[in-house]
């Protein structure tokens, strides 16, 4: 495999760097550098999305006829690598990375014409309504009911762990339109306006104190049948298509590599000139080297998945491998960083970092000052936030079952 860049690739990389130098403001870079969540706060993400939209680079994986870039695998990987190196804040994937590809693959012409341009411009901010109490990893057991009422479905139920539902104006949901002997049947994929009467959002606070996730309650919410994606009762196939993009539609290794380099710098700064910490520094460096080798291995899988996507194919069961290894590697990096930061990691100071949402019950000190070095301030919050990584988008235990069946043939 030839992993060297061609002259055209290098020109593209230089174009991306020039764009980032000109358009990625110091404030946006600061958010990327100090981010403790998977997602940036909505207003920050929308500010960066509008900049990318003006350039035409907001949806690298979308076909050009729908407003995307239609880039090659190499271009998309270079773009992701340069974004990570420049500390660009991430965009919310709910619309651009999940619902958008589903509409491109399964939506009606009217749905594509209406929703896709609004996703690109950032007119709509989406959230995902999948998990329910008792129906998380066992998603087919979901109970949220959608009763047929002429031209509408009347929805009643409870979704939870819904990221940024308090900021979203649209949600894509799985609802039960009939009860069948096989639970995967009778499920429908539905787009719901969050401003509809009967929608109630209540916060869930994370371990790090942030308000990112939510409960969403639906009480007799009327939704036009025109908002059904695919066929009524056949939403499970649409959902599986989406979950492949959720788990494997992008690349995580460029960001993991940047984080690994920052942790290596942290280890050096914390132990330099300290002979008494030589053994600890060696142990942490060895752990980081082991993680870095696994990141390199994951990169090869991600490049294969991107090649499949570029050929017009869905990611396939390998996306479960990518999700499992990627989230566990991310958690491993937070563990090494926590050990490297030492006592500085114990200081709770969310006012000095960029969280994915507000921290409702924290009052910052009057002087607004921070304790400890810059590189240690995000460590504890990132560690706590990343505990969810092996659960969201389908728990890693479920992903291993998919890998065993779909890849290993067990």
pLDDT tens for each residue of 54-112: 999 999 989 999 999 988 888 888 999 999 999 999 999 999 999 999 999 999 999 99
Of residues 242, 251, 247, 246, the one with CA closest to residue 74: 251
Q: Which residue, among 43, 42, 51, 46, has the nearest Cα to 19 in the 3D structure?
A: 51
Residue 144's SS3 state is: coil
**How does pLDDT run across 321-365, given as a tens digit for each residue?**
888 999 999 999 999 999 999 888 888 888 888 988 888 888 888
Joined tokens for residue 149: 């009422």
CA distance 220 to 187: 18
| CA distance linking residue 114 with residue 71, whole number of Å | 24
- Given a cut of 50, the residues of the chain with pLDDT beneath it are 1
Among 41, 82, 132, 246, the one annotated catalytic: 246
Task: Classify the C-alpha dihedral 271-273-274-275 as positive or negative.
Answer: positive
Residue 1 has a pLDDT of 45
- What torsion do the CA atoms of 78, 261, 87, 41 make, to the nearest 10 degrees? 120
- What does the block give as tokens for 246? 């959720």
What is residue 315's predicted lDDT score, i.e. its pLDDT?
65
Q: Which residues, in sequence order, are CB contacts of 139 under 8 Å at separation 6+?
A: 130, 131, 174, 239, 394
Q: Tell me the average pLDDT of the chain.
A: 90
CB atoms within 10 A of CB 87: 18
Phi, psi of 177, rounded to the nearest 5 degrees: -100, -10
- Report residue 127: phi and psi, to 5°: -135, 170
Nearest to 212 by CA among 87, 399, 381, 379: 381
Q: Which domains does the chain have, with CATH numbers?
A: 7-91 (1.10.540.10), 126-234 (2.40.110.10), 251-406 (1.20.140.10)
Among 166, 162, 161, 129, which Cα is nearest to 144's?
Answer: 129
Name 221's bridge partners: 155
For position 3, what pLDDT does the model report?
58
Q: Give the Cα separation of 398 and 404 in Å (integer).
A: 10
d(CA 346, CA 377): 9
Instruction: Collect all residues with Cβ–Cβ distance below 8 Å to 377 and sequence separation of at least 6.
Output: 34, 344, 347, 349, 352, 353, 370
Q: Is 246 a catalytic residue?
A: yes
Q: Which residue, among 98, 83, 41, has the nearest Cα to 246 in the 3D structure?
A: 98
Q: Which of 38, 16, 20 is nearest to 92 (CA)?
A: 38
Q: Find out whether 360 and 203 touch, Cβ atoms under 8 Å.
A: yes
Phi, psi of 174 (to 5 degrees): -100, 125
Give the phi and the psi of residue 207 in degrees, each rounded to 5.
Answer: -60, -35
What are 100-114's pLDDT values in tens digits? 999 999 999 999 999
CA neighbor of 185 nearest in space, from 219, 234, 138: 234
Q: Do 147 and 220 form a contact (C-beta atoms < 8 A)? A: no
pLDDT of residue 146: 97
Q: What is the DSSP letter of 167?
A: T
- Run of H or E including 41: none
């Amino acid at each position: 495999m030839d992993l060297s860049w061609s002259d055209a690739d290098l020109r593209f990389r230089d174009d991306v760097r020039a764009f980032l130098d000109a358009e990625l403001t110091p404030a946006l870079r600061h958010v990327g550098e100090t981010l403790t969540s998977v997602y940036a706060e909505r207003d920050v993400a929308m500010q960066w999305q509008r900049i990318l939209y003006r350039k035409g680079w907001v949806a690298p994986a979308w076909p050009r006829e729908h407003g995307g870039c239609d880039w090659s695998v190499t271009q998309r990987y270079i773009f992701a690598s340069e974004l990570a190196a420049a500390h660009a804040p991430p965009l919310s994937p709910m619309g651009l990375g999940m619902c958008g590809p589903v509409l491109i693959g399964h939506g009606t012409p009217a749905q594509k014409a209406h929703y896709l341009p609004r996703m690109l411009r950032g007119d709509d901010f989406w959230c995902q309504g999948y998990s329910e109490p008792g129906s998380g990893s066992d998603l087919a057991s979901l109970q949220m009911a959608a009763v047929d009422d002429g031209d509408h479905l009347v929805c009643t139920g409870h979704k939870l762990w819904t990221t940024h539902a308090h900021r979203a104006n649209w949600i894509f949901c799985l609802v039960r339109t009939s009860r069948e002997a096989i639970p995967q049947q009778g499920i429908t994929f539905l787009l719901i306006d969050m401003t509809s009467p009967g929608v109630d959002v209540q916060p869930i606070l994370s371990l790090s104190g942030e308000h990112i996730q939510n409960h969403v309650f639906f009480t007799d919410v009327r939704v036009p049948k025109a908002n059904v994606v695919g066929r009524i009762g056949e939403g499970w196939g649409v959902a599986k298509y989406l979950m492949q993009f959720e788990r494997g539609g992008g690349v995580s290794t460029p960001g993991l590599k940047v984080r690994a380099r920052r942790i290596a710098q942290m280890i050096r700064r914390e132990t330099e000139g300290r002979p008494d910490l030589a053994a600890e520094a060696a142990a942490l460096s060895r752990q980081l080297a082991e993680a870095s080798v696994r990141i390199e291995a994951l990169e090869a899988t991600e490049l294969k998945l991107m090649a499949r996507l570029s050929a017009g194919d869905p990611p396939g069961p390998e996306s479960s491998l990518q999700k499992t290894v990627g989230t566990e590697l991310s958690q491993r990096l937070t563990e090494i960083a926590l050990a490297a930061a030492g006592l500085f990691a114990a200081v709770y100071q969310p006012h000095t970092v960029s969280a994915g949402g507000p921290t409702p019950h924290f009052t910052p000190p009057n002087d607004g000052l921070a304790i400890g070095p810059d590189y240690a301030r995000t460590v504890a919050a990132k560690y706590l936030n990343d505990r969810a990584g092996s659960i969201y988008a389908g728990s890693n235990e479920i992903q291993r079952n998919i890998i065993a069946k779909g890849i290993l043939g067990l």
